[in-house]
Amino acid sequence: MRPRFVALAGRLALAAVAACFVALSAKVATGAPAPRDAFLAIASLPLGVAVADLLSGIVHWACDTFLAETTPVLGPLLIAPFREHHRDPTAIARHGFVELNANTSFAAIPIACVGLAQRASFLLSACALGCSVAVFATNQLHAWAHAEAVPRAVRWLQGHGAVLAPAAHAAHHRAGNMRYCVTTGWMSALLDRTLAMLSAPRGTS
């Protein structure tokens, strides 16, 4: 059972992130200085999604590796869901909408605010839109990778590598120390190599 303050904070975060998405979408939709910039904005959206996927992997690795469920504030808000997920991988598919998406709302808000900043360029705003929406969707996409039944469109996206696929994510639960990225899985190989390099023992001279 989650603390009451966590549930309340989650609802407030969902409302705030929805407002950010509306404002940022309007800024991108009306802000193209020239027609070619609209095409650049569309091209920048996948870049934002890739950044979101990498961020999901870094956060996932950190929450699996550091701190504890009893850590003040971060424990019940962030660490506990990750630890529960490893004890019961299918639990994520049984959570309600607020419980599932509140944490990613907290993460998506500052990213969206970067794109909303007055000095943010049009392309940065477009990239921030793709990144913040993908960050928000991360837990939902992760849950669908564990669910037995998902919408047909989601199953198609999983099968074509556009979002996290069950078979690709299963490697994380088998090995436990790889394939951390849980938005699309695009960046898992890069993060795996980076973490392996960082953890490799240094040679002696």
pLDDT digits (tens, 9 = 90+) for 95-154: 889 889 998 999 999 999 999 999 998 889 999 999 999 999 999 999 999 999 999 999
Residue 204 lies in a domain: no
Report the distance separating Cα 163 and Cα 146, nearest Å.
Answer: 13
Please give the tally of structural domains in the chain.
1
Residue 148 lies in a domain: yes
Residue 205 lies in a domain: no
Q: What is the DSSP letter of 94?
A: G
Note the pLDDT of residue 177: 84
Q: What is the largest CA-CA distance in the chain?
A: 59
Report the distance separating Cα 52 and Cα 164, nearest Å.
Answer: 12
Q: What is the DSSP letter of 92?
A: G
The residue segments making up the domain with residue 124 are: 4-199
Note the pLDDT of residue 131: 98
Would you call 83 exposed, middle or buried from its count of C-beta atoms within 10 A (0-12, 13-18, 19+)? middle
Placement of tokens 């695009």 in the chain = 186
Residue 124 lies in a domain: yes
Note the pLDDT of residue 77: 75
Residue 18 lies in a domain: yes
pLDDT along the chain (205 residues), means of 10: 72 96 93 77 90 96 89 83 88 90 93 95 93 97 95 96 95 89 97 92 57
Residue 60 lies in a domain: yes
Note the pLDDT of residue 156: 97
Residue 21 lies in a domain: yes
Report the distance separating Cα 45 and Cα 132, nearest Å.
Answer: 10
Note the pLDDT of residue 3: 63
Residue 129 lies in a domain: yes
Q: How far apart are the first and last CA of the chain?
A: 53
